[in-house]
Amino acid sequence: MPTRAPQERRRRRPTASGVVLSKELITETALRLIGEHGPEALSVRRLGAALGCDPSALYRYFRNTDDLLLAIADRIIGDTMVGFVAGPDWVASLRDMAMRVRAGYLAHPRAAAMASFRVTRRENEFRAVETGVGLLLSAGFPPADAVRLYLAFIDTVLSHAALDAACHALPREQREADERAWTEAYQSVDPESHPALSEVRGELHAMAESSFEPAVDLLLDALAAKASALRPRT
């Protein structure tokens, strides 16, 4: 009587098109499809077509498309943390983390818009949160403050990075029109009804730039000041 192959072995058999399915391959393919076609590409039908397999085969690896979305979000986190090593300067290390998050989101802007607010409960996210909270603990913050301040830090980073990613995902014509607005439409406002805008009209070109780094630096300055206040005065 023939015995049934172990589940993992059955999963690793090639599809009719010769593709060997895996969680990694499915996640990578979904990430690519979202980048090419937007959120609507996250469907088992489109994934099955791209992978050359029956869509039902994907349920052996992911419970549903939301489970896959969480894997995509965790994959982006993992990519951002590749090569990251926390240094002795906790402020510089947190800033490095922030810049890596933005770079990861800009690399996958359409997926980032879908995933930035999700909790993946997977290994890459565990490692990132462990690192961030650990840096704040090393700065001298007590556990409750370390958690609360990490939340403020990462929410600021993720929201600004997602905003930049959403702008980056716009069609070029729309993005360029929005950027030109600051040096065109805003230059014609009535000084009587908009005195503040009129006073700064020569500086409004800066509004077309990303606020990511200034926002992160403001927050890190505040965190550094709080950490300094914890140290006993001599």
Overall domain count for the chain: 2
Helix (H) or strand (E) holding 217: helix 212-230
Regarding whether 206 and 92 lie in a shared domain, the answer is: yes
- Residue 113: what pLDDT? 84
pLDDT tier at 18 (50, 70, 90 boundaries)? low
Tell me, what amino acid is at 25?
Answer: L
CATH of the domain at 113: 1.10.357.10
Q: What is the pLDDT of residues 59-100, one digit of tens each?
A: 999 999 999 999 999 999 999 999 999 999 999 999 999 999
- Residue with structure tokens 């607005």? 181
pLDDT tier at 6 (50, 70, 90 boundaries)? very low
Instruction: State yes or no: pLDDT of 3 exceeds 50.
Output: no
- Residue with structure tokens 């098109």? 17
Regarding whether 177 and 224 lie in a shared domain, the answer is: yes
Q: What is the pLDDT of residues 100-154, one digit of tens each?
A: 999 999 999 999 988 889 999 999 999 999 999 999 999 999 999 999 999 999 9
- Residue 1: what pLDDT? 34
Regarding whether 221 and 132 lie in a shared domain, the answer is: yes
Q: CB atoms < 10 A from the CB of 117, how many?
A: 11
Which tokens go with 41? Answer: 């590409």
Which structural domain, as residue segments, surrounds residue 205?
84-230
What's the CA gap between 204 and 187, in Å, rounded?
A: 9
Regarding whether 124 and 42 lie in a shared domain, the answer is: no
Q: What is the pLDDT of residues 26-62, one digit of tens each?
A: 999 999 999 999 988 999 999 999 999 999 999 999 9
